Amino acid sequence: GSAKLILFGEHAVVYGTPAIVAGLDKGAHATLTPSDHDSLAVFGARGASEPLFRIDAEHPPRDDRLVTAWRLVRETFGLSDERFEARIDVEVPLGAGLGSSAALSVALARALASHLDQAPIPKDDPRVTAAVAASEGAFHGKASGIDQAAAQFGGLFQFRRTDHGPE
């Protein structure tokens, strides 16, 4: 999924004013391997050998939001009981206002959809949209959708809070 940058209207978008948003070329990419246990490893770059952090039976999360988001993504796809080793490569700083949680969520949802379909996943796949909306709720409560739109569709677009995606 793509990270995001709000070029204009960052605070005004809360009041229904349009914002101009860019879905960046950098973001997050996930790969999944079926496993008998769950494991999430987040790396700072593709090909990095050491993770920024790992969540598994031996490494409990410091923050449950990523674990909850991953559970919600699997539930959206009807795979609550499936277990995976997930590797997430993140190309932007986490928690810096660039939409990293949405980028992570899109990456996990696309990887899961690709695992199921054994095919490339279109940007507007409704399963990905539903999974990311659920997982963004775990990170932010009621999310505006601006991060999800940038992460899922990329590109440059106008976003209005009442929208369900880019205009």
147 near 136, Cβ under 8 Å? yes
Q: Which of 56, 81, 124, 147 is catalytic?
A: 147
Give the three-state DSSP class for 74.
helix
Q: Which residues pair with 89 in a beta bridge?
A: 29, 43
Gap between the Cα atoms of 57 and 10, Å rounded? 39
Closest CA to 135 of 166, 122, 118, 86: 86
**81 tagged catalytic:** no
Gap between the Cα atoms of 6 and 148, Å rounded? 13
Any idea which residues carry the catalytic annotation?
A: 147
